[in-house]
Structure 1
Amino acid sequence: MISSLQGTVAEVNLNSAVIDVNGFGMLVQATPQTLSGLHTGREARLCTSMVVREDSMTLYGFETAEQREVFETLIGVSGVGPRLGLAVLAVHEPETIRAAASDGDDKAFSKVPGIGPKGARRIVLELAGKLVPLEDKNQPTAGPSWKPQVLDAMTSLGWSEKDATSAIEQATKDAPEVAARGDVGEILRLTLRMLGQDGSKSSRAAATKVPASR
């Protein structure tokens, strides 16, 4: 599998380019936007995706790995071949495609030549969950399952949520093995010990209120 090419641009055509890689001319299909950034005689690097068929092996080139990822996801949809996948990328930026797939915006895909209303609806249905906006992918995941229980016990002892959260994070940072075990009572005692509260009546009472993690 050829995942990238780097070499001298030998030719730039309407729908493709030839990249000279150590004397081998590699033909790459690409969008007009990608081709516009290539100049004959200059060095270039492209991320590539190879599509193998019974009678052919075709390379498709992209400026970024994200464009390639979106392309490869698109051609996994029934009825969407490589040429149509390139057409989608020629009309929309990768993040626009991700947003349209996530929001079920079939009209965005209808703007692509060769995709009708029915095809657009099928695309958004099949892409559901496969392409999401990068900002959603980068959202922090929920905290460990024990954290709400320990936080609730701390606030019941009179600590503010902000101070309790800070104390829990510091205590488990200093003792990651305790956090890994997920024992709610043990984590609570560790946090209170750090705050100089271990052994107090309030800590013992709070610990009895918190169920052990399963």
Structure 2
Amino acid sequence: MIASLAGTVAQVSLDRAVLDVQGVGYLVHATPATLAGLRPGEPARLQTTLVVREESMTLYGFADADEREVFETAQSVSGVGPRIALAMLAVLTPDALRRAIAAEDTATLRRVPGIGAKSAQRIVLELTGKLGAPGDDGALRVVAPADARAQVVEALTGLGWSSKVAEDAVAKVLADEGADVVDEAQVPGTLRAALRRLGPRG
């Protein structure tokens, strides 16, 4: 298993990055928060896990080992694959997920794209006791939004919403916060706040 990668960021897109490790480019799928911390041409280290399927090998990257562990454990739930597990971490911090499960808070889980009422109940049932106790962060990853609005809109459209819906959601988040623009450092938080407002797609 490829447990971590350290190299130079060659490319960053909406849902993935390419990390150049001694001349070898590794394509790594990651959450918007992780990708927001990567800059092309700069060094980076990611915790990783390799998902091997009969027809593919896909590498997923995380900011820290706790996120990786939650990603791997979430896939023990029937019906939850890498895509849903990654979406969970795009909307919730590991501790927010732990608290939602401990409180049987299916409404919070349903804010994750791709998770409906039945799958939320199944996640609570099958992950209870498996993720450990939450620490102190315990909330949806919402950071006060404050010129990178387009990045948030692109991320939302990449998750399946239309540009109009995405733009409206971001505008409402900014209005809630009394801000006019999205600072680049606040892209992950603004994205999560927009996801909370939009709720589960479909």
Shorter-chain TM-score tier: 0.5 to 0.7
- Match of 2:66? 66
CA RMSD of aligned residues (A): 1.2
1:36 and 1:108 map into 2 onto residues whose CA distance is: 24
CA-CA distance at 1:56 after TM superposition: 0.6
Counterpart AA for 1:33: A
- Match of 2:86? 86
Counterpart AA for 1:89: L
Residues 111-190 of structure 1 correspond to what in structure 2 (within 5 A)?
Answer: 111-135=111-135
Deviations 1:59-113 (A, max 9, x none): 1000010000110011111111101101000000110011112222111111111
Secondary structure of 2:7's match? strand
Runs ≥4 in structure 1, deviation > 3 angstroms?
none
- Match of 1:187? none
**Structure 1 residue ranges without an equivalent (≥5):** 137-214
Q: TM-score, normalised by structure 2?
A: 0.65
- Match of 1:27? 27
2:100 and 2:116 map into 1 onto residues whose CA distance is: 15
CA-CA distance at 1:135 after TM superposition: 4.5
Task: Give the number of the structure whose residues are more often helix, by fraction.
Answer: 1
Confirm or deny that 1:98 pairs with 2:83.
no
Secondary structure of 1:45's match? strand
Deviations 1:143-191 (A, max 9, x none): xxxxxxxxxxxxxxxxxxxxxxxxxxxxxxxxxxxxxxxxxxxxxxxxx
Counterpart AA for 1:118: K
2:120 and 2:86 map into 1 onto residues whose CA distance is: 15
Structure (1 or 2) with the larger CA radius of gyration: 1
Confirm or deny that 1:45 pairs with 2:45.
yes
1:41 and 1:135 map into 2 onto residues whose CA distance is: 34
1:108 and 1:102 map into 2 onto residues whose CA distance is: 12
The total of aligned residue pairs comes to 136
Secondary structure of 2:90's match? helix
CA-CA distance at 1:133 after TM superposition: 2.1
Secondary structure of 1:59's match? strand
Q: TM-score, normalised by structure 1?
A: 0.62
Counterpart AA for 2:28: V
Deviations 1:46-68 (A, max 9, x none): 00011010011111000010000
**Structure 2 residue ranges without an equivalent (≥5):** 137-202
Q: For the Cα contact (< 8 Å) 2:48–2:59, is it kept in 1?
A: yes
